[in-house]
Structure 1
Amino acid sequence: MQEQKRPQFKVFNTPELLETILLHLDNRTLLVSAQRVCQTWTVLVQTSPAIQEALFFQSQEHKWHAESISSPIYNPLLVQAFRPFFPSVHEYPPIHNNTNENATEFQAEAEHHGRDEDSHFSFKALDMLSSPQKKTAYMRKEASWRKMLLRQPPVYGGVTIFKMHHNMGGDSCRSYEVQEETPQANQENKESDDDHKMLKMGHFFTAFIHNEDLYFGRFGHTRIYWSTYVPPYESDLDGRAGGSYPPQGGSYSRKVIENFAREIVRSEVVAFSREVTQCCVGGKTNLTQEESLRKEILEAESDDRV
């Protein structure tokens, strides 16, 4: 009884006060360590709207509008664990004003550092492939990262795929959005349906890994673009950027350039993939390292479903 009269005991047994304290923890400690303390902490973390928002399981959009916050905040745990899915977040400051000055500065920065060419999507950078134990943990169907929002405010909609094909006849392209299927139980529940439309990492990852239009062979590349980090398209910038848009390794075809510019405005995130048809490849070719890693992930995912 004497223990229960101590101030710290009262604090940790008052949900409102405990919530305030836990919200000062970093996301990883809050998600993992805090829930291991006791059942009370676990229940609070999983039921508190404020904590669920801080952990990117629920939208903070209402706060965004109320506080007039302009710059999106990307999920730090996902950015670290799935680095190649968020390349621009690591490389460049976001572009918010659609002006030639901002676009020119972005192009100059990219050309000066040459980082765009080096940031093609690579499975090697995924934390899940750093050890067999991590790969098993990540591939669990109930893994928490699958339910996480990519950022605050949330991204609505699916994953836009932009496939560009180059051959001797010229360049061609097509684009489409991969939507997550709405569970039947949510179809008559508007609130649940709106929540379902928020892009979560599970759908982003699955749509990317399984898509056959995304090329990881020897003659081309794949890269993810976030619209917040791509300069607005202006026709006079085309010549300055070497005739390519996306900035590097894109296409000289006016149709491809304009179609990509349209998609990056319409969609928050675009998976761009460029494939080049070779006239004479000759003989059977082995899988590239990236193709092998992709296959390894797909096999691990299949093993977990058995």
Structure 2
Amino acid sequence: MHFRLPAQTRALAIPEIIISILHEMDMQTLMAAQRVCRTWADQIRRSRSLQKALFFIPASEKSGAGTRVYNPMLARAFQSAFPSEDLRDASNASDSIEDVSLSDFDLTKSPAKREMYLRPEASWRRMLTQQPPVSTVGLFSMGAGPMGLSWHQERATRQDEGLRMGALFEWLVHLGRHEWNSATIAICLGGAEPVNMPLEIIRPCTSVFTDGINGDWRAMAADFDLVLLASSASTCVDPEGPDDPDWVKSSDEIAWEEICETYSELGLTVAGLKMETYNEGGAWWN
């Protein structure tokens, strides 16, 4: 005996209709749709347009019309790693730069969340941070000490398939204990349309000339899609490390310790991005 399938069932067997329906979903619903059935999961994996919508493969510059679109799921889970879009045209660094805080990331809220997030197969690791993707990545480190102001610049190899959140996250963790205890860490988006790459770094005092550091800073703003800024200051009486009785752990240092412990428990290594130093400079107190 032949049974005629309902029209709805027959329609949902047509791949083009399924793809059209899936395109109407927001990102979180689309991710969940992969668990509905094997057919939907296969359609999502095979569709380049849906993989772009899920930030798994890069969108072209033309399709982005020159504007950045943050990965909405990542921007919620790692909020301080995504600079606000209303920071353009600030007059100096202190006006525009927002600190990255590990302790604000969703994964730090509980041990169970840390273990869930940090699984090596977790999908967020493979996601692009934005569309069109970040391709050129650099590190600008500067420090003020008893002798003056120093800085150095590093760059990673070009991210031809775009910067993935797993690489960015591990790069942040790879900075280490001292940076997460006392340094200011910020993510700055530069390139043709900077978001929070101010033209000038504020002078630490009137007795130091900052033309050199600002020239190097402006060059990075123009040449890199993303610059990780690490800024610190030290004196002769600062505690030297966690073994010093005067050392006080910050909330970010505690979060960093917990992340590293979870990595160790899972048998993972914090890889970070391989960086190459290409410039250094200094300005001494007069």
> Equivalents in 1 of 2:140, 2:128: separation in Å?
22
Amino acid at match of 1:229: V
Aligned residues with identical type, % of pairs: 27
Could you tell me whether the CA contact under 8 Å between 2:64 and 2:132 is conserved in 1?
Answer: no
Matches within 5 A, 1:228-239: 228-230=194-196, 233=199
Amino acid at match of 2:69: I
**Structure 2, gaps ≥5 residues long:** 269-286
Matches within 5 A, 1:186-225: 194-195=160-161, 198-212=162-176, 215-218=179-182, 220-225=183-188
Amino acid at match of 1:34: A
9-18 vs 206-215, which moves further: 206-215
Structure 2 equivalent of residue 80 of structure 1 = 76
1:107 paired residue among 91, 98, 121: 91
Structure 2 equivalent of residue 44 of structure 1 = 43
Structure 2 equivalent of residue 135 of structure 1 = 114
Structure 2 equivalent of residue 54 of structure 1 = 53
Shift of 1:213: 9.2
> Equivalents in 2 of 1:274, 1:57: separation in Å?
32
Matching of residue 167 in structure 1 with residue 110 in structure 2: no
Cα deviation, 1:164-207, whole Å, max 9, x if unaligned, reads 01112111100102348xxxxxxxxxxxx943xx2111111112
Amino acid at match of 2:50: I
Question: What TM-score comes out, normalization by structure 2 length?
Answer: 0.80
Amino acid at match of 1:28: Q
Shift of 1:217: 2.3
**Structure 1, gaps ≥5 residues long:** 96-102, 181-192, 246-250
Aligned Cα root-mean-square deviation (Å): 2.8
Shift of 1:257: 1.9
Could you tell me whether the CA contact under 8 Å between 2:177 and 2:256 is conserved in 1?
Answer: no
**3-state SS of paired residue (1:281):** coil
> Equivalents in 2 of 1:270, 1:43: separation in Å?
37
Shift of 1:252: 6.2
> Equivalents in 2 of 1:13, 1:263: separation in Å?
51
Matching of residue 257 in structure 1 with residue 214 in structure 2: yes
Structure 2 equivalent of residue 34 of structure 1 = 33
Cα deviation, 1:77-116, whole Å, max 9, x if unaligned, reads 1111111111234xx16x5xxxxxxx3xx339x98xx6x4
Cα deviation, 1:240-274, whole Å, max 9, x if unaligned, reads xxx618xxxxx962222221221121111111111
Shift of 1:138: 0.7
Matches within 5 A, 1:219-298: 220-227=183-190, 228-230=194-196, 233=199, 244=202, 253-281=210-238, 283-284=244-245, 285-298=247-260
With over 3 angstroms needed to count, the CA separation of the structure-2 counterparts of 1:297 and 1:259, relative to structure 1, is same
> Equivalents in 2 of 1:133, 1:122: separation in Å?
20
> Equivalents in 2 of 1:231, 1:140: separation in Å?
33
> Equivalents in 2 of 1:258, 1:286: separation in Å?
35
Shift of 1:163: 0.8
Instruction: Considering fraction of residues, name the structure with more helix.
Output: 1
> Equivalents in 2 of 1:44, 1:72: separation in Å?
27
> Equivalents in 2 of 1:132, 1:224: separation in Å?
26
Amino acid at match of 2:260: L
254-263 vs 267-276, which moves further: 254-263
**3-state SS of paired residue (1:275):** strand
**3-state SS of paired residue (2:25):** coil
203-212 vs 76-85, which moves further: 203-212
> Equivalents in 2 of 1:216, 1:232: separation in Å?
23
